[in-house]
Amino acid sequence: MLFVKAVGGAMFATSDVIAQTSSLTRPIFGAGGGMDIPAGERLMWRFNMDWIYGGFQTNDTNQISQIVQNNFRISTGPVWRF
């Protein structure tokens, strides 16, 4: 079974967490999808990929803004379906 998803929300951070942030609260959004493979009557094995955009801008010369802004995540694991 294939699936797609979209998420949205807000991220709060201070300069103690993210060096030289230009804003404290920023909207975030993401998109992703994956596949569930049956492994039993109610058990599935899930493969999932997501891309999350954080929205923070920094003045940091170590390019921390790129780490905070765009994140790609791959995950896998068992899922019990009700």
Per-residue pLDDT of the chain (82 residues), as tens digits, is: 899 999 898 877 666 655 555 556 778 889 999 999 999 999 999 999 999 887 666 555 555 555 556 788 899 999 998 8
Phi first, then psi, for residue 64 (nearest 5°) are -65, -30
Domain count, the chain: 1
Sign of the CA dihedral running 14, 65, 53, 76: negative
User: What is the rounded distance in angstroms from the CA atom of residue 2 to the CA atom of residue 4?
Assistant: 7
**Per-residue pLDDT at 72:** 86
* Contact (CB, 8 A) for 19 and 59: no
What predicted TM-score, i.e. pTM, was given to this entire model?
Answer: 0.62
User: What is the rounded distance in angstroms from the CA atom of residue 59 to the CA atom of residue 62?
Assistant: 9
**Per-residue pLDDT at 67:** 53
Q: Which domain holds residue 73?
A: 2-80
